[in-house]
Structure 1
Amino acid sequence: MTQHGQTLLYVTHDRAGTSAVRSMGTAELGAGGVPVVLVPGLGAPGYLLRTLERCARSGPARLLDVPGHRDPAGRVCGDTLGALAHTVARWLTDVPGGPVVLAGHSTGAQVALHAAALRPGRVRALVLMAPTFPPRLRRMGPLVGAAFHTAVQESPGVVPAVLPSYLAAGPRRLLACTRSAQADAPEEVLHRVTCPVTVVGAEHDVLSPPGWVRYLAGRATRGRAVVVRGAHAFPHRYPDATAEVLNGVRNAPV
């Protein structure tokens, strides 16, 4: 366990199917309200720790370390979108004991979306934060340009938060995850999700621009769009504002 901010966060390995999925967060998920479960982008959970800590102040919360590039026990699944979604779906089935607020960021939003479609009874509400990729970024050339234009808007502090995971993953695995996310069409999956969906984007995010965020919210059966300040990594730079959105979803009537 570790003291992060003012909240004690635990590192846990939960059995999900035949795997043990590592997570950080509160020790208990079955008491104190609906759990908030976070799924990171590109397998780099560190940049979401600040948001996790804020969510944990108000109730149970976990940040899943999938696929687990830095887990001493080893990775729990492959690096593709499908493998990640099935692992998260198994965790939702075996661990929380009830429905959760499932929130993913970046490629993790795509993972969370597919997991919610696979396990509809285990997701009370779905939050897609800066979901990737709009159709024009499903080719590598435009994606590289958009990543550059977004990067100049980011806080430099996000680099040490993600770099250890990126180095542990290596370029081949990061590229495999990115390619599988580019091949995905989240707008075609949203109709399979019946729970409330909140799509959150940032005003200066070129990877997940506000127009794309609003479009995805409109594709959901029960969707709404929220645009906050910042760029793609807004949960790291503005954890209080991010947690406010997540806790609002947690406390909202279904």
Structure 2
Amino acid sequence: MHTTGRQRYTVRWDKAAGHRVRSLHTGGDHTQGPQVVMVPGLGAPGYLLDALEGCGAWAESFLLDVPGFGHRQPRACPARIPALAGLVSAWLASVPREPVVLAGHSTGAQIALRVAAGHPERVRSLVLMGPTFPPALRRVSGLFGALVRTLTHESVGELGVTVPYYIRGGVGELFRYVRSALHDAPERVIGRVACPTLILRGAHDAFAPRAWVHRLAATAPHGRSMTVPGAHNFPYRHGGLASALVAEAARHR
């Protein structure tokens, strides 16, 4: 068992699609009410621990370590958006007791979106935080410019909770993950989501610009959007706010 601030979490391993999937689990004493499942961006769960702890204060909550950069190989699946969505869908079919509040950040939002669209029976509410990538950023020039504009508003402390995962995952696999995300088209998927959808972006997030987030929310049958303090990785510095908004989304049915 690990202690990180207010709550404690345990590391658990579950079988899904024939693979062992690692997750961080907290709030297990909440046997009634919704369950929360969080999907991190680029396979680095560490920066979402505060948000996980906040959710664990009111709901049984899981933070998935997919594709498995938080442990040694073998990986649960390749670091590609379609494969990751398939793995998360299989995990949701075997572990939670009921449809969940599914929250994804960054590329994790792309995964969560595919899961909610493909398996509506497994998701009761969807939260997309800093969803990537709008069409203008699906080429190197646009992506680099967004990176520069966003990094000036991020915290140096994020390096300590993301870089170790990237190193463990490997530069090649991380590159393939990003390339897969750049070939994804969330705007073609979100119209198939049946559950209420809350889309969040940081005020200084160039990866999820305001117009892009508004467009996604308008396309979702039950979508709404909100801008919050911070930049792309706002859940790292504002974990309490992120968890409170996930709680609000859980009540919005």
- Supply the AA of the counterpart residue of 2:94: D
What is the distance in 1 between the residues matched to 2:154 and 2:248?
Answer: 25
What is the distance in 2 between the residues matched to 1:45 and 1:32?
Answer: 25
1:154 aligns with 2:181: no
- Partner residue in 2 for 1:189: 189
Matches within 5 A, 1:159-170: 159-170=159-170
Q: Which runs of 5+ in 2 are unaligned?
A: none
Kindly state the Cα deviation for residue 92 of structure 1 after the two structures are TM-superposed: 0.7
Aligned residues between the structures = 253
Kindly state the Cα deviation for residue 155 of structure 1 after the two structures are TM-superposed: 1.1
What is the distance in 1 between the residues matched to 2:189 and 2:129?
Answer: 16
What is the distance in 2 between the residues matched to 1:70 and 1:51?
Answer: 17
SS in 2 for 1:127: strand
For residues 48-74 of structure 1, the C-alpha deviation after alignment (integer angstroms, 9 at most, x for no partner) is: 011101110111111000000232463
- Partner residue in 2 for 1:219: 219
Aligned pair in 2 of structure 1 residues 29, 132: CA closer, same or farther (>3 Å)? Answer: farther
- Supply the AA of the counterpart residue of 1:146: A
Kindly state the Cα deviation for residue 30 of structure 1 after the two structures are TM-superposed: 7.6
1:56 aligns with 2:59: no
- Partner residue in 2 for 1:43: 43
What is the distance in 1 between the residues matched to 2:85 and 2:201?
Answer: 21
Q: Which runs of 4+ in 1 moved over 6 A?
A: none
What is the distance in 1 between the residues matched to 2:226 and 2:153?
Answer: 19
What is the distance in 1 between the residues matched to 2:13 and 2:30?
Answer: 16
Aligned pair in 2 of structure 1 residues 228, 77: CA closer, same or farther (>3 Å)? Answer: same
Matches within 5 A, 1:90-101: 90-101=90-101
- Partner residue in 1 for 2:32: 32
RMSD value, Cα: 1.3
Q: Is the 8 A contact 2:217 2:225 kept in 1?
A: yes
SS in 2 for 1:38: strand
Q: Is the 8 A contact 1:92 1:119 kept in 2?
A: no
For residues 67-93 of structure 1, the C-alpha deviation after alignment (integer angstroms, 9 at most, x for no partner) is: 002324631000110110000000011
- Partner residue in 2 for 1:17: 17
Matches within 5 A, 1:1-254: 1-26=1-26, 28=28, 31-72=31-72, 74-252=74-252, 254=253
Taking only the aligned residue pairs, the percentage that are identical comes to 45
SS in 2 for 1:131: coil
Kindly state the Cα deviation for residue 240 of structure 1 after the two structures are TM-superposed: 1.0
Q: Is the 8 A contact 2:27 2:56 kept in 1?
A: no
What is the distance in 2 between the residues matched to 1:27 and 1:129?
Answer: 22
Kindly state the Cα deviation for residue 141 of structure 1 after the two structures are TM-superposed: 2.0
More displaced, 182-191 or 22-31?
A: 22-31
Kindly state the Cα deviation for residue 44 of structure 1 after the two structures are TM-superposed: 0.6
What is the distance in 1 between the residues matched to 2:74 and 2:62?
Answer: 19
What is the distance in 2 between the residues matched to 1:243 and 1:97?
Answer: 21
Q: Which runs of 5+ in 1 are unaligned?
A: none
